[in-house]
């Protein structure tokens, strides 16, 4: 054992050098800009380091509104994704129908589509002059459109549920494919009702995948920009939208950097949680897509 | 089989199918419908026209489509190059630093795209490198965001690779470069093509970072779609979205066919 570990060491050392080039590119194009954001956030107008800037931004009600909005939207949307994903996964895996694999694959293609597509479609479906409202007003003879959730937080939540459910669905389908079909058949031949099988066989097996999918959805919904921008509801400002508003609309780069530091810290925290869960359940899948 | 009764199974299918159709079918159908709607005053379009596609294929929109295709092509080729390189390089180093590097290479996919754009603006609006207002900063932003995805795809492929082929090649005396070119790369080609298609699709739909950094002369399709919908030209926006989806899928399909042909051989 000792000979084999000492002999190839110099080779291993030169092999390690190959990583320098991609890592240098990552540093120049990503890590260094990220560091400059943090630096800019704590640099005063005179160029000296100061906490005045972050303190000023972090004590405004607008920041806290955006922060709470982001958390509320992300938590509700992720809960929706996990719930819907679980329902669809159970349907696709345990009550399969002809073409269910194609259906699963079709839902998965949503991963590659731009998120704002759904927000744009929602304007036609649920907007004040959308299909749903027009049908309801003409059919029921109402004076005002009855459905009015699109330009609120719930419009954003529903659009994000649509966009991100495939991310919760995928680990669940993978986990369910590992359940032995005989296990379920034995349980049901012993007289267990479907609900009991769900509770005692399927859900325990799905728990790690639920956690992994849920934390991934949480990360993606905290970072979501396109849906919030397209729905453009007045009161619904999230952290990514606030970064955009401060930097591009108000040219206030220092404030944008303070908000970005908070947002990046939140995202990286969620990312670490996701990686820990995936490592714990032993999945190979460590990436976001 | 979880549900044995045929009637119960049918009912579950009906409910599940309805939910899936409302959530996933309706958005696509309604965008397609809006892209050919002439007037839309009631619940459904009053008449149909191809005018919006005409608008989409001329003038500003046509230029934006080209801009997006070029940005996507350049950024995804570089992202796949650097992702493949990084994934291959990481196989050879010790587990602990490997996990650390792995974390770093995944990081761009975990931070909000808006902050990637903001970082590039802050970093490259000051010397030594001035990129603010150039085409290059848009391509760089796309590259950063999608490089994590292509790295992820390719390292997943490498993890699934059985080591025997490479060991056999090595034991037969293949030099590292030959082994890489004739054994490893052909074996992970499906993952490389997968990474390329995913990167391209993500770049075509990228909005957050692009909104932050784009100069007036390099407007991508999603930015153009947002401008149209913000201005109230939602039917034109729908037609452009359809073109974006169709263009993305066409290129994805072509790449999948190329990869199938390559692996069959």
Residues A140-194 pLDDT 10s: 877 777 777 778 888 899 999 999 998 898 888 888 888 887 888 888 888 888 8
Give B38 to chain A, closest Cα distance, Å: 14
- For chain B, say whether A190 makes contact (Cβ under 8 Å): no
Nearest CA among A197, A116, A96, A249 for reference residue B245:
A116
Asked if pLDDT for residue A2 goes beyond 50, the answer is: no
Give B146 to chain A, closest Cα distance, Å: 10
Asked if pLDDT for residue A10 goes beyond 70, the answer is: no
If pLDDT is split at 50, 70 and 90, which confidence band does A276 have?
Answer: confident
Asked if pLDDT for residue B169 goes beyond 80, the answer is: yes
- The predicted-structure confidence for A66-100, as pLDDT tens digits, reads as follows 999 999 999 999 999 999 999 988 888 888 888 77
- The predicted-structure confidence for A30-69, as pLDDT tens digits, reads as follows 999 999 999 988 888 777 788 888 888 888 999 999 999 9
If pLDDT is split at 50, 70 and 90, which confidence band does B81 have?
Answer: very high
Indicate the number of domains in chain A: 1
Q: Which of A247-256, B17-26, B207-216 has the lowest mean pLDDT?
A: B17-26
Note whether residue A184 is domain-resident: yes
Q: B149–A288: do the CB atoms touch at under 8 Å?
A: yes
Note whether residue A100 is domain-resident: yes
CATH of the domain at A275: 1.10.3720.10
Q: How far apart are CA B201 and CA A110, in angstroms?
A: 11
For residues B137 and B113, the answer to whether their CB atoms sit within 8 Å is: no
Task: Determine the residue among B1, B15, B111 to mutate to test chain A binding: the one whose Cβ has the most chain A Cβ atoms within 10 Å.
Answer: B111
If pLDDT is split at 50, 70 and 90, which confidence band does B265 have?
Answer: very low
pLDDT of residue A220: 92
Q: How far apart are CA A270 and CA A265, in angstroms?
A: 9
DSSP character at residue A19: G
For the segment B168-190, the average pLDDT, to the nearest whole number, is 86
Of A115, A121, A263, the CB nearest to B30: A121
For residues B153 and A287, the answer to whether their CB atoms sit within 8 Å is: yes
CATH 1.10.3720.10 is held by the domain B53-264: yes
Q: How far apart are CA A128 and CA A145, in angstroms?
A: 6
> In whole angstroms, what separates CA A68 from the centre of its chain?
16
Share of residues in chain A with pLDDT > 70 (%): 92
- For chain B, say whether A107 makes contact (Cβ under 8 Å): yes
Q: What mean pLDDT value characterizes chain A?
A: 84
pLDDT of residue B117: 94
For the segment B206-231, the average pLDDT, to the nearest whole number, is 91
Q: How far apart are CA B235 and CA B31, in angstroms?
A: 9
HSE value, Cβ hemisphere, 13 Å, CA-based, for A166? 19
Give A16 to chain B, closest Cα distance, Å: 5
Asked if pLDDT for residue B41 goes beyond 60, the answer is: yes
Note whether residue A50 is domain-resident: no
Of A22, A33, A232, the CB nearest to B123: A33
Q: How far apart are CA B111 and CA B108, in angstroms?
A: 6
Q: Write out residues 207-246 of A within 8 Å (CB-CB) of B.
A: 219, 222-223, 225-226, 229-230, 232, 239-241, 243-244
Report the chain A residue with the minimal C-alpha distance to residue B142: A29
Give the Cα-Cα-Cα angle A33, A36, A37 (nearest 5 degrees). 90
For chain B, give every domain's residue range: 6-48, 53-264
Q: Give B113's contacts in chain A (Cβ within 8 Å).
A: 223, 225, 240
What count of other Cβ atoms lies within 10 Å of the Cβ of residue A54? Answer: 18
Of B43, B143, B248, the CB nearest to A135: B43
pLDDT of residue A198: 83
If pLDDT is split at 50, 70 and 90, which confidence band does A13 have?
Answer: low
Give the Cα-Cα-Cα angle B124, B127, B131 (nearest 5 degrees). 35
- For chain B, say whether A19 makes contact (Cβ under 8 Å): yes
Q: How far apart are CA A184 and CA A200, in angstroms?
A: 10
DSSP character at residue B2: -
Residue A203: which domain range?
60-113+165-226+235-281
For the segment B80-98, the average pLDDT, to the nearest whole number, is 89
The residue behind tokens 């649509």 is: A162
Q: A91–B207: do the CB atoms touch at under 8 Å?
A: no
| pTM (two decimals) | 0.87
Note whether residue A120 is domain-resident: no
For residues A225 and B208, the answer to whether their CB atoms sit within 8 Å is: yes
Q: What mean pLDDT value characterizes chain B?
A: 86
Of A23, A165, A240, the CB nearest to B112: A240
pLDDT of residue B138: 94
Note whether residue A256 is domain-resident: yes
């Amino acid at each position: 054992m000792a000979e084999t570990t000492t002999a190839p060491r110099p080779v291993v050392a030169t092999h390690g050098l190959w990583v320098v080039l991609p890592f240098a590119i990552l540093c120049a194009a990503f890590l260094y800009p990220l560091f400059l954001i943090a630096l800019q956030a704590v640099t005063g107008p005179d160029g000296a380091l100061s906490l005045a800037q972050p303190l000023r931004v972090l004590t405004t009600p607008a920041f806290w509104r955006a922060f709470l909005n982001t958390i509320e939207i992300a938590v509700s949307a992720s809960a929706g994704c996990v719930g819907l994903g679980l329902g669809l996964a159970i349907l696709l895996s345990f009550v399969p129908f002809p073409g269910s694999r194609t259906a699963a694959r079709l839902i998965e293609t949503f991963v590659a589509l731009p998120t704002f597509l759904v927000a744009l479609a929602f304007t036609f479906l649920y907007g004040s002059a959308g299909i749903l409202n027009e049908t309801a007003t003409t059919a029921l003879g109402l004076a005002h459109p009855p459905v009015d959730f699109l330009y609120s937080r719930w419009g954003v939540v529903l659009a994000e549920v649509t966009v991100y459910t495939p991310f919760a669905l995928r680990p669940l389908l993978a986990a369910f494919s590992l359940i032995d079909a005989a296990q379920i058949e034995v349980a049901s031949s012993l007289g267990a009702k479907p609900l009991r099988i769900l509770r005692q066989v399927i859900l325990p097996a799905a728990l790690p995948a639920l956690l992994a999918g849920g934390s991934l959805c949480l990360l993606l919904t905290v970072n979501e920009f396109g849906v919030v921008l397209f729905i453009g509801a007045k009161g619904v400002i999230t952290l990514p939208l606030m970064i955009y508003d401060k930097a591009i609309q108000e040219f206030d780069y220092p404030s944008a950097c303070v908000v970005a530091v908070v947002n990046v810290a939140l995202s990286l925290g969620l990312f670490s949680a996701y990686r820990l869960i995936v490592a714990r359940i032993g999945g190979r899948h460590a990436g976001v897509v | 089989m979880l549900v044995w009764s045929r009637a119960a199974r049918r009912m579950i299918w009906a409910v599940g199918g309805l939910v899936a159709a409302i959530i996933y079918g309706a958005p696509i159908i309604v965008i397609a419908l809006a892209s050919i709607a002439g007037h839309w005053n009631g619940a459904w379009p009053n008449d149909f026209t191809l005018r919006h596609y005409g608008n989409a294929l001329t003038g500003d929109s046509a230029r934006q489509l080209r801009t997006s295709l070029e940005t996507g092509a350049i950024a995804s080729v570089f992202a796949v190059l650097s992702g493949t390189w990084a994934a291959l390089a990481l196989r050879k180093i010790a587990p602990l630093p490997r996990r650390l590097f792995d974390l770093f290479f995944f990081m761009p996919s975990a931070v909000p795209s808006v902050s990637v754009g903001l970082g590039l603006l802050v970093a490259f609006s000051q010397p030594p490198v001035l990129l603010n207002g150039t085409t290059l900063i848009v391509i760089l932003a796309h590259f950063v965001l999608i490089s994590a995805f292509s790295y992820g795809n390719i390292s997943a492929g490498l993890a699934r690779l059985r080591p025997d082929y490479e060991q056999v090649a090595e034991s037969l005396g293949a030099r590292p470069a030959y082994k890489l070119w004739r054994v490893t790369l052909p074996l992970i080609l499906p993952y490389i093509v997968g990474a390329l298609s995913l990167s391209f699709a993500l770049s075509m739909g990228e909005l957050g970072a692009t909104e932050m950094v784009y100069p007036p002369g390099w407007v991508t399709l999603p930015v153009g779609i947002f401008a149209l919908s913000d201005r109230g030209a939602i039917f034109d926006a729908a037609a452009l979205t359809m073109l974006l989806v169709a263009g993305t899928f066409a290129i994805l399909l072509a790449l999948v066919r190329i990869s199938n042909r390559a692996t069959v051989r």
